[in-house]
Structure 1
Amino acid sequence: MLNLPAERPHAPALPHRTSVTENGSFAIANCTCGWRGPARRARDRARRDATRHSSD
């Protein structure tokens, strides 16, 4: 008899909640899933990074 692990139901995927934080003259997009975007000097580029991540 094989001892297979019990199947667990998949938890529903949580929505990605992104934010932009500032560190000196840099803006960084962050997500609740642990993702972090590159440091950007332009806040609008950091916001675009966050939007792209949320829509993926």
Structure 2
Amino acid sequence: MAGKSKDLRPKITLESTAGTGYRYVSEKSRRNNPDRLVLRRYDPVVRRHVQFKETR
């Protein structure tokens, strides 16, 4: 079984840049996206779409 650091699709946490502390948990492909992800997702605390950045 592969170790966590060698997973091809590790679980990541996306945290809102609006400062609300809201988070999404997702998976990403290390091969296609080796850098940190930045996605535009819905933040229900501020009730609008904002950028979510990958945290480690």
Q: TM-score, structure 1 length as denominator?
A: 0.31
Higher normalized strand content (fraction of residues): 2
Larger Rg: 1
